Amino acid sequence: MSADIAHELRGKEEERITHARARIVLALGPVTSLAGLVWAIVQPWRLTLLHPHGQGFWWLLAESPLYVVLVGILFRVVIAPGVVRDLEEAE
């Protein structure tokens, strides 16, 4: 096997690994949001918006499954692009 071919194959393998890492980082946000939605479906009594009787504003604001969905969205939109950019630069 020629050394040139070996270097080309190694380069393609490293590129595939980097793309896999980028995909994983980009998928963390949507997976987290999906986990929050599943949590809200599995434990609907945690969503006091569905039965707000006698609850104050802050109690209605503190919805744990909704926080998880929000964090997943914020991670995907704000943090993940920078992390992927850093991964590409480190290559």
Angstrom distance (rounded) from CA 59 to CA 56: 5
Residue 15, CA atoms < 13 Å, CB-side half-sphere: 6
Task: Kindly indicate the confidence band of residue 52, based on its pLDDT and cuts at 50, 70 and 90.
Answer: low
| Amino acid 77: pLDDT | 94
| Amino acid 64: pLDDT | 83
Residue 63 CB neighbours (<10 A): 18
37 pLDDT above the threshold of 80: yes
Q: Provide mean pLDDT across the span 43-61.
A: 70
Q: What is the pLDDT of residues 72-86, one digit of tens each?
A: 999 999 999 999 999
